[in-house]
Amino acid sequence: NEICIMGLGYIGLPTAALLANRGFSVTGVDIQQHVVDIINRGEIHIVEPELDAFVMAAINSKNLKATILPTYSDVFIIAVPTPFQGDFQPNLEYVFNATKAIAPFIKPGNLIILESTSPIGTTEKIADILASEGVDISSVYVAHCPERVLPGHVMRELIENDRVVGGINLASTEKAIAFYKSFVSGEVLATNARTAELCKLAENSYRDTNIAFANELSIICDKANINVWELRRLANRHPRVNILQPGCGVGGHCIAVDPWFIVADYPNEAQLIRKAREVNNYKSEWVIEKIKTTALEFEIKHAKKPSIALLGLSFKPNIDDLRESPAVYIVQSVIQSFAPDSIIVEPNIESHPTFKISAFDHASHDADILVVLVAHKEFGTINNSKKSNSIILDFCGVI
Ligand code: SAJ
């Protein structure tokens, strides 16, 4: 079987490498020449555990080849980004461009799969675009199978996760299910394209809404002088309660984005989903205010400005991915508005284009105020290494 994968990013490249290692002949297509060159050398341009070994093996086996242009294949997988732009509207330009790019290479019997997270109706639009590009839609299969892998565990979750597959018609669903069953060990569940689209958006909105609940609770607890972590531990002993972890906001390129795809199309109906996004964004502002107030109180009490250490930059614990990270936003804001000399620590990276990265030891010995923004495992020992009179602002429950 020949597979052509459009987009060699966080989903396309792991999928391409996995399928090539399973014996499929894979053409990976990316619009960026430097990405194509890196991959053809057997190297990777993104950070994901185990991916490097999979790509190296795929290239060495000659089952994977990266190029700028698509080619004839049995299966086409579209795995390009669907970012959102101003006005909270999803940008489907990459998906539609990829669709137009594969159109000339589609033959009867081919299967075209959209994996990119997309608003309701996008898979049907792809079929319309293919038809307008001259493809006989009645002779091909078109389906949506949203990716659901957790960054940091992609290689395992690509195989083990259950998958939801929705075609534009029954034959498309069945064809796509047979394809996924050939390499997925989880269950492959059938539905229609529109349900599969909303299913993915609902999954990430569900998580966002639950995190918003935890974040709102943490703000209430702070005002009521109650330890939110103790409260959460106790409430979660109820058999039907599972409160997620409050933090300094929600980051990454999925959970903070996908709910807007629902809100954009259903602005009057998606009240809670929108509010959850707002609560999670507000949490970062609240954290900044808290750091500012604590610094001011210190200054009044000691008649000198405190030394502040900001601990963590990544968008979640124990990874080096800084994309759409609330910690980065908070650090930027603190540095620009009131504490330019803050010590910045991120154990998972060596350097940063704008921030000077310091060692955790240095920060914990020297700072008057220690602000924990990300629950990295290294910060768990903070109580042992800090100065005796320093203040800890733990926004993610590392202590
Ligand atoms: N977070 C909290 N509290 C929590 C859990 C998470 O504040 O209790 C924060 C994290 O710190 C981070 C953000 O939420 O800033 C998102 O992290 P995450 O680990 O929840 O999710 P992602 O963005 O890494 O991956 C999600 C996953 N979706 C779900 O769990 C429903 C993944 O399965 C999806 O494939 C991925 O989005 C995607 O690509 O859509």
CA of 255 to the centre of ligand 1 (A): 6
98 lines ligand 1 (CB under 6 A): no
pLDDT tens sequence across 212-232? 999 999 999 999 999 999 999
Which positions are catalytic?
200, 254
pTM, rounded to two decimals: 0.94
**Residue 302, Cβ neighbours under 10 Å: how many?**
11
pLDDT at 131: 98
The confidence band for 389, taking pLDDT boundaries of 50, 70 and 90, is: confident
| Statement: residue 208 has pLDDT above 90 | yes
- pLDDT surpasses 90 at 397: yes
Question: What integer best gives the mean pLDDT of the chain?
Answer: 96
Strands of the 163-167 sheet, one edge to the other:
64-67, 25-29, 2-6, 75-78, 111-114, 141-144, 163-167, 188-192
Give the helix/strand (H/E) hosting 167. strand 163-167
- Domain boundaries of the chain, sorted by first residue: 2-186, 227-394
Task: Assess whether the C-beta atom of 210 lies below 6 angstroms from ligand 1.
Answer: no
Q: Whose CA is nearest to atom 1 of ligand 1?
A: 250
pLDDT in tens, 232-254: 999 999 999 999 999 999 998 89
Q: What topology does CATH give the domain 2-186?
A: Rossmann fold (3.40.50)
Q: How much is the ipTM here?
A: 0.97
Q: Do domains 2-186 and 227-394 have the same CATH topology?
A: yes
Q: 344 CA to middle of ligand 1, Å?
A: 24
User: Is the model's pLDDT at 387 over the cut of 80?
Assistant: no
CATH architecture of 227-394: 3-Layer(aba) Sandwich (3.40)
The pLDDT value recorded for residue 85 is 79
Q: Using a 6 Å cutoff on CB, does residue 207 contact ligand 1?
A: yes
For 381, residues 6+ apart whose C-beta sits below 8 A from its C-beta are none
Cα-Cα-Cα-Cα dihedral sign, residues 346, 351, 352, 357: positive
Position 108 scores a pLDDT of 98
Residue type, 328: V
Model pLDDT, residue 86: 72
The residue written with tokens 């607890």 in the block is 221
Q: How far is the CA of 218 from the centre of ligand 1 (A)?
A: 19
Residues 15 and 5 sit within 8 Å (Cβ to Cβ): yes
The pLDDT of residue 399: 87
Percent of the chain at pLDDT exceeding 90: 89
CA distances (Å), 36 to each of 39, 43, 66, 103, 285, in order? 5, 10, 5, 21, 40
| Any ligand 1 atom below 6 A from CB of 204 | yes
What separation in Å is there between the alpha carbon of 203 and the centre of ligand 1? 10
Pairing of strands 163-167, 141-144: antiparallel
Of 39-48, 78-87, 309-318, which range is least confident? 78-87
Q: Using alpha carbons only, how large is the chain's radius of gyration in Å?
A: 24
89 — pLDDT class (breaks 50, 70, 90): confident
Percent of the chain residues topping a pLDDT of 70: 100
Q: What is the rounded CA–CA span in Å between residue 129 and residue 134?
A: 9
Question: Residue 362's pLDDT band (boundaries 50, 70, 90)?
Answer: confident
- pLDDT tens column, 126-165: 999 999 999 999 999 999 999 999 988 999 999 999 999 9
**Residues contacting 292, CB < 8 A, separation 6+:** 334, 337, 338
- What is the total residue count of the chain? 399
Q: Which pLDDT value is given to residue 385?
A: 74
